[in-house]
Amino acid sequence: MRIIFYVLLYLNCTTMLLASTSSNAIDISSSHHNIGKHISIYKDPTASMKLSDIRKLPKEIFKPLNKPASSHGFTDASIWYRFNVINHKKTPVSRLFVFTPAWLDHVNIAVISPSGEVKKYQGGNALPYKHRTLDHYLINFKHAFEAGESQVYIEVKTRDPFIIAISLMEESTFLSEQLFDSLIIGLIYGGIIALLIYNLFLYFRIKEKYYLFYVIYLIAFLLLNSSYNGYWYMSITSNYPEIQNWSHSILAYIFICAALLFANSFLNLKKYHQKLYRSTLYLIYTILTISLFSAVFGGYHYHVMFSILSIIVASSYIVIVALYSWKSGMHSARYFLFGSLSGLIGACVTALTLMSLIPYNYFTYKASDFGMYIDIILLSLALADKYKIIQEARLKAEKDSKTDVLTGLKNRRFFYEICAQESKKLKRYKNDFSIILLDIDNFKQVNDTYGHSMGDLLLKQIAFSITDTIRVYDDAFRLGGDEFIILLPKTKEEDAYTLAKHLLVKINNIYVKATKTLCITASMGISSFQAQDEDIHDTIKRADSALYQVKFADKNDIKIWTNENKGT
């Protein structure tokens, strides 16, 4: 009985072991993304072992990966992966091996069929682009799995950050998913190119250098993104794998310098922060020097490693400079700061993922892309915000240059501009047009008796009375001192006289609290534009003549100039 018990126990354990082995095998009746949980892994530090050597190793030396992707930072070792694939059908089933990311140098696959036949595939970015099955930026191979359980060995070597996710998919599923991804990529790239063209147009129109540096920054980002995502390899460098590989880090250094130049120009460090301006230039020179020396003396490995570190350092520096500029009063730096911060966070997350310091998934791996997309949008908003602030400042400066500081009325400079415009209209359309010339009576005595502060207060109150009396399409100016002029388009002399009477009543009723007894009076002269006038200045001379007659008489009155020189 004991013998029978042990036999049954042995058979049960064997069955459970086989069931466990089969259950861990990948069933290719459907597609599988990121099959890391089905994979065992072995690290060959010598990077010299062949498939025959690997197959001789004890099974225990391969350790379960137990996560979707494998990441090892920078390493010179070869990483071997082993897993089983089961085909329950009686006929061969074709499946596609797909590898992420696109920059892996060497990918060697060996599939051992149930009958023991070995089929090998070679690919990666160290080989010409044609070595992949489908014309796609991701490394891929197609294999027809025979009925039963096959064993797969994959060797991967790369000089870049070592991170790899393996998928085993139906070709149709892969292509349909990639169609959607291509649509998204196309929309993103299309949006960036549209921004590029728009800002290039603004540069030629406005001639502000920060638009040009933003265009250079966008071009650098597109080149870098298309390089490390494999798009460049598909279309430009497909027969030059070494150029493709070096383009990653070279374009990274160019992108860093473009970002620093844009920050330098946008934040106007040369004008507002000389020390930061010089430190930015020194940082650019340092990064270029590191790029050159690491390429010549360190080789590819160090060139790539320092490019990643440089992106993090430069992004951190830009965020600090943007924050300092914002705190220093540059309001247009706010969007720039948030955009730079999103780019920094994305770059750090991706860098930490590539260095195996945080777990791999699609979002951590693509964090730099997402961060940069947000960065680009926010930097565009920053440019729009800066343009708005500059335009508002220009309009304010223009308005201030045409406004009397004390009274808020338009000044003499603006008066001459309006006169030139109105003269052209009057010569062409022959419309009615009247002028009121106003002078405060005995204003010098007010200043001498009560002081200039009281005189200034009086001028402000006179200006308020004028603006409160005239119509929206009339113009009032302070010509200087206590002299004011009012331009009344489409207004006859009698209507101008009516308006002047209302204004005089308001001026006479001005109450100056500090003096209590001060009565404000004013004299006014009125004239209308006549057909023989060359321009409005002829009309003004007649109004001035009428004003002189009022001042010469009793003051505090209104006179319309007439050919007979009789008052009204």
Residues 6+ away with beta carbon under 8 Å from 6: none
DSSP tag of 297 = I
Stretch 476-499: mean pLDDT = 93
Q: What is the pLDDT of residue 221?
A: 92
Amino acid identity, position 518: L
- CATH code assigned to 412-560: 3.30.70.270
B/e letters for 418-427, b = 16+ CB within 10 Å, e = fewer, are: ebeebbeebe
Q: What is the pLDDT of residue 235?
A: 83
Stretch 146-153: mean pLDDT = 96
pLDDT-based confidence at residue 174 (cuts at 50, 70, 90): very high
Q: What is the pLDDT of residue 18?
A: 37
- CATH architecture for the domain at 25-169: Sandwich (2.60)
| C-alpha gyration radius of the chain | 41
Lowest-pLDDT choice from 302-311, 319-328, 367-376 = 367-376
Give the SS3 label for residue 389.
Answer: helix
Cβ–Cβ < 8 Å for 340, 262: no
By the 10 Å C-beta count (0-12 exposed, 13-18 middle, 19+ buried), 105 is classed as middle
Q: Would the pLDDT of 23 be above 60?
A: no
Q: Three-class SS string for 529-563?
A: CCCCCCCHHHHHHHHHHHHHHHHHCCCCCEEECCC
Q: Torsion angle of alpha carbons 552, 553, 558, 560, nearest 10°?
A: -70
Residues 6+ away with beta carbon under 8 Å from 86: 22, 25, 26, 27, 28, 148, 149, 150
DSSP tag of 59 = G
CA 223, CA 252: separation in Å to the nearest integer?
A: 9
Q: What is the pLDDT of residue 147?
A: 94
CA 162, CA 77: separation in Å to the nearest integer?
A: 10
Amino acid identity, position 485: I
Q: Would the pLDDT of 297 be above 60?
A: yes
Q: Would the pLDDT of 541 be above 60?
A: yes
Instruction: Residue 316: count other Cβ atoms within 10 Å of its Cβ.
Output: 15
Q: What is the pLDDT of residue 564?
A: 56
Q: Would the pLDDT of 184 be above 80?
A: yes
**End-to-end Cα, the chain, rounded Å:** 142
- Mean pLDDT across the chain, nearest whole number? 87
Residue of 441, 436, 445, 444 lying closest to 524 (CA atoms):
436
Instruction: Residue 151: count other Cβ atoms within 10 Å of its Cβ.
Output: 17
Lowest-pLDDT choice from 218-222, 365-369, 470-474, 513-517 = 513-517
Residues 6+ away with beta carbon under 8 Å from 507: 462, 465, 520, 521, 522
**Tokens in use for 399?**
């308005």
Q: What is the pLDDT of residue 4?
A: 45
Q: What is the pLDDT of residue 150?
A: 96
Supply the pTM of this predicted model: 0.73
β-pair partners for 157: 106
Q: Would the pLDDT of 12 be above 70?
A: no
Q: Would the pLDDT of 193 be above 80?
A: yes
Residue indicated by tokens 């089961």: 86
The listed range with the strongest mean pLDDT (21-25, 250-254, 354-358) is 250-254
CA 342, CA 348: separation in Å to the nearest integer?
A: 10
Q: What is the pLDDT of residue 11?
A: 40
Stretch 337-346: mean pLDDT = 90
Q: What is the pLDDT of residue 332?
A: 81
Q: What is the pLDDT of residue 420?
A: 87
Residues 6+ away with beta carbon under 8 Å from 83: 25, 26, 35, 38, 39, 40, 151, 152
Alpha helices in 1-95 (DSSP H): 2-24, 51-56
Lowest-pLDDT choice from 48-57, 264-273, 308-317, 375-384 = 375-384
Stretch 173-196: mean pLDDT = 89
**Tokens in use for 486?**
């009012």
Q: Would the pLDDT of 7 be above 50?
A: no
Q: Would the pLDDT of 357 be above 80?
A: no
Amino acid identity, position 484: F
Checking DSSP bridges between strand 78-87 and strand 26-27, what pairing results, if any? parallel
Q: Would the pLDDT of 160 be above 70?
A: yes
Whether omega for the bond prior to residue 128 falls within 30 degrees of 0, making it cis, is no
Residue of 540, 542, 433 lying closest to 491 (CA atoms):
433
Q: What is the pLDDT of residue 279?
A: 96
DSSP tag of 63 = E
For 165, 212, 233, 475, 486, the CA distances from 469, given in Å and listed in that order, are 79, 50, 74, 11, 11
Cβ–Cβ < 8 Å for 391, 332: no
Residue indicated by tokens 């999103």: 342
Lowest-pLDDT choice from 57-61, 197-201, 382-386 = 382-386
Phi, psi of 142 (to 5 degrees): -110, 135
Checking DSSP bridges between strand 522-528 and strand 558-560, what pairing results, if any? parallel
CA 466, CA 310: separation in Å to the nearest integer?
A: 65
**Tokens in use for 360?**
């791999």
Cβ–Cβ < 8 Å for 163, 360: yes
